[in-house]
Amino acid sequence: MKEKLDSEPAKGVVLKAILVLFLTIAIVLSAANVAIKYTHDKKDYNLLNYVPPVKRYVSLREYLPLMDRLVTPDETTMRISDNLVQKEYRLRTDENGFIIPSEIYKNPDFSLVFLGGSQVESAFLDEEKRYPVLVGEILSERLGKKVNSYNGGIMGSNSLHSINLLLYKVIPLKPRFVILSHNYNDLLYLLNYGDYWSKHSPEPIIKEERSGLARIMRNGKDIIKDSTRLVFPYLYSRLLIFKDDIATVRLEARAKNSKDASPSRGEKKLPNQIGELKNDFIANLKLFIYIARSRGITPVLSIPSSRFIEKPEGKVNVSLQNWANSYNMDFNSFYKTFKGHHEAFNETIRLVGKSENALVVDMDRMVPKNKTYMYDLFHFTPEGARFVAGLIADQLINIDSSLM
């Protein structure tokens, strides 16, 4: 009893000491504020009107790391697809945002990374049937080596997005090869926005935080998140999955809407000539090659396959008609013009590969343009994915005899 009574005064002493400490700190800070107010050089700057600098940053276009969700083709997708199975497909990512399966071996003999848009991503294929995975499996089997294959594809991405991934995510992996597959998304993006850095894009490359208050609020959110994770781990995990689902749905919506987004100036038009746009695309392809080689990585350009033929068939016509309507053009005029632009971008990839002595995997010429291999205009069926994986594996072995 006596010990309990003795502890009461001790608690009071501690509380008083804490109170005195806080008061002392407040007095010191107030004194410093007053001192600065009357001693700072007013000719140099006005402290009261000081605005924190704008914080700008480059945002990676990627899926959230450690994502695990099920995706199902919606009715819009099914209307433009010939033989896509409408079911749930699992889409998972590793801690670095690459689509799983990724790091199969802890100590691989070599690795390769695929970068591109939704054709590389292959969301509506089962995990083990996506062609980046199959390429790794084929190489492992043929060479008797441990090969990791990373899928860095994401719907709606263009070549500049992939260059950013190369710089900030791929180089640290030290892969043997990095395979870039772009055309369609670059063409649409440049047609709609004029260049890769347009502020009119729904997802500009450079993002900004303009106020100090925004940063303070973000730091507060981080404190709340960390506290929730420690105290309520199961609730936190469930909320994270919910947030993950919302983010992915928004990303899907942006990718679908990107082809219908209005350009920065005036009404949407489909130009007959795209010389300047091709120059921007060429510059990105060369930059990709230079960056990869400077880090000892073998760059490979892959030309995405498509079902652009003289007279389109099947449900491909539905999506093409939608595009023609968005440009206020009749179907035949639109198709002839857009198909010509698409082929011009493909030829650009071939020319860059030749001039830079880089391997070009020409899937557009080698993959049959029908619904057996692609269920819509661009995306592979399981048969198409197997076919493409074999093509890529063959050509990688052919250009690098040291793999054998």
HEC string of 170-189 equals: HHHHCCCEEEEECCHHHHHH
Ranges 16-25, 32-41, 64-73, most confident: 64-73
319, pLDDT greater than 70: yes
Domain map of the chain by residue range?
A: 2-50, 57-203+261-403
| Overall CATH class of domain 57-203+261-403 | alpha beta
Higher pLDDT, 337 or 47: 337
CB-based contact 65:96 (threshold 8 Å): yes
The predicted structure's pLDDT at residue 400: 75
55, pLDDT greater than 80: no
CB-based contact 130:99 (threshold 8 Å): yes
Q: Residue 211: which pLDDT band, with cuts at 50, 70 and 90?
A: low
Q: Which two three-digit tokens encode residue 73?
A: 């083709």
| Lowest model confidence (mean pLDDT) among 83-92, 154-163, 249-258, 262-271 | 249-258
34, pLDDT greater than 90: no
pTM to 2 decimal places: 0.78
Give per-residue pLDDT as tens, 332-391. Answer: 999 999 999 999 999 999 999 999 999 999 999 999 999 999 999 999 999 999 999 999
The predicted structure's pLDDT at residue 380: 97
253, pLDDT greater than 80: no
Q: Which helix (H) or strand (E) holds 89?
A: strand 89-92
The predicted structure's pLDDT at residue 215: 57
Q: Residue 203: which pLDDT band, with cuts at 50, 70 and 90?
A: confident
Nearest to 118 by CA among 82, 85, 146, 77: 77
The predicted structure's pLDDT at residue 164: 97
Residue 96 to residue 216: CA distance in whole angstroms: 27
Say which DSSP state 169 is in: I
DSSP string, 198-233: -TTSSS-SEEEE--HHHHHHHHHHHHHHHHHHHH-H
Burial 252-268 (b: 16+ CB within 10 A, else e): beebeebbebeeeeeee
